[in-house]
């Protein structure tokens, strides 16, 4: 494939908004045709998520209120890295334990996703966790998550029916299904 006609080249840039969660930058770039244009983008530390499957075929799911869409969503356990260099497997083990109380004996890496590569560098690594053992949830004071166990096959139907909206959750469940079906 010859894709040399597609690349842009950075001239310079600066941070235009620095919030607690979001860091927005504006860069000037040269397009492949030589024109100059601006690019607004978010720099993100990266994240991890996990499909935790019990021995009897349930997934540990979360109900979480998401302010931007003003809805309570079904999501798999997930969280941000503490830093760009944090080990992703350590991070996802921490998030699973803190948000749900569960630890796991077996971890399977299902690759990653860019949720919005047009305007953010966020990457979310996806895992399956098996061999689960229940412990105590350990949420921050200002974190509110309800944990529910749902049959894996019911969740696939919920993805196809539109009952699950979150992108990482939909994709991780379908990838887990194809991966486990192929292995079986």
Token pair of 101 as six digits = 């109380």
Q: Whole-number minimum distance, CB 133 to a copy of itself, in Å?
A: 25
Closest CA to 75 of 171, 169, 178: 169
Structure tokens at 153: 């096959």
> What's the closest the beta carbon of residue 31 comes to a copy of itself, in angstroms?
5
CB of 130 to a copy of itself, least distance (A): 18
Nearer to a copy of itself, 103 or 174 (CB): 174
> Which residue number, 90 or 144, has a Cβ lying nearer to a copy of itself?
144
Give the nearer residue to a copy of itself in terms of CB position, either 55 or 85: 85
Q: How far is the CB of 67 from a copy of itself (least distance, A)?
A: 5
Q: Give the integer Cα–Cα distance in Å for 59 and 62.
A: 10
Gyration radius (Cα) of the chain, Å: 19
Nearest-CA neighbor of 158 among 75, 78, 100? 75
C-beta of 146 vs 154, nearer to a copy of itself:
146
Place of tokens 């024109």: 35
């Amino acid at each position: 494939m010859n894709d040399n006609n597609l690349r842009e080249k950075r001239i310079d840039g600066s941070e235009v908004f620095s919030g607690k969660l979001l860091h927005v930058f504006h860069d000037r770039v040269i397009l492949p045709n030589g024109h100059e244009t601006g690019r607004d983008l978010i720099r993100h530390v990266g994240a991890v998520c996990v499909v935790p499957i019990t021995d009897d075929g349930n997934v540990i799911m979360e109900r979480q209120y998401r302010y931007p869409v003003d809805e309570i969503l079904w999501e798999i356990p997930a969280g941000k890295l503490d830093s760009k260099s944090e080990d992703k497997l350590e991070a996802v083990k921490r998030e699973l334990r803190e948000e749900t109380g569960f630890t796991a004996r077996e971890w399977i890496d299902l690759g990653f996703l860019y949720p919005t590569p047009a305007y953010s560098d966020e990457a979310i690594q996806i895992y399956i966790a098996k061999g689960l053992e229940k412990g105590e949830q350990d949420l921050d004071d200002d974190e509110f998550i309800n944990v529910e166990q749902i049959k894996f096959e019911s969740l696939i139907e919920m993805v196809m029916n539109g009952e699950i909206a979150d992108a990482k959750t939909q994709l991780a469940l379908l990838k887990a299904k194809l991966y486990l079906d192929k292995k079986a």
